[in-house]
Amino acid sequence: MDKIFINDLEVYARHGVFAEERSLGQKFLVSAVLFVDISKAGSSDDLTASIDYGNVCRFICAFMEKNTYKLIESVAEQLAGAILSYYAPLLRSVELTVKKPWAPIGLPVDTVGVQVTRSWHKAYIALGSNMGDSRALIKGAVSKLDENEKCRVMKVSELIVTPPYGGVEQDDFLNGALELDTLLSPVELLWLCHEIEQEAGRERKVHWGPRTLDLDILLYDDEMISISEPSLEIPHSDMTNRMFVLEPLNEIAPFAVHPVYRKTVRELYGELKAR
């Protein structure tokens, strides 16, 4: 990935643990490496195909002057997220360094600082419902994900009617899948999905039983995660056996690769149909 970089931008802002730092302010030095494909801008000589580093500098200054944090860790974390959100979808990742030249530590030092790297992540989520107004509930869940400041819904499949899975007698399901760009970690995304499910009246009483809304994280980048608390397994442990998952996922992401089997969704979908 190409890089645009800004080195030691001087900003006067009010951040610090001590009250005097937050009232009087002090100088900060901010450096940023923006990971973005600049090939189109390079061939067309069109600034709109790239990211204006002057605009980024002004954005950094405005953010740091407007907000106040005790820790430069918080400054870096919040600023990185704000830059990624504002300059999406061109910007995929940012490496940010925030330094304090006048750190009040009582010893001779040039600067102290923190450096963070934050990125947009690609996730795929299965959608399901067989209680209430299923179409409206799924549409509402998609909207809530897209409205979250750290998420962007990129694609949504058509919804299909499928028979229930798992042997529990119940009504047919409405199922689909979506592609999501997110700044959330896998666990943070799980909690967001659970929150949206609960708002839709989801109750976890019967395993594989009826539900107003079901949001399952299928894939998250190339991550392989298995934790018990909270319960999370990525890739989803049973996705390769579920036609109601693979069919809508194949519609929006046929070339997404399962990190365990190293096969595309299209290949997995074809194999399941053949079985």
Known catalytic membership, residue 100: yes
Q: Active-site residue among 99, 100, 150, 205?
A: 100
Measure the CA–CA gap between 2 and 199, rounded to whole angstroms: 41
Tokens representing 23 are: 């009232």
How are beta strands 225-227 and 232-234 bridged, if at all?
A: antiparallel
Closest CA to 36 of 125, 126, 120: 120
Q: Which residues contact 72 (CB under 8 A, 6 or more apart)?
A: 15, 28, 98, 100, 113, 114
How far, in Å, are 11, 56, 216, 246, 268 from residue 253 at the CA level? 43, 32, 16, 10, 12
Catalytic positions are 100
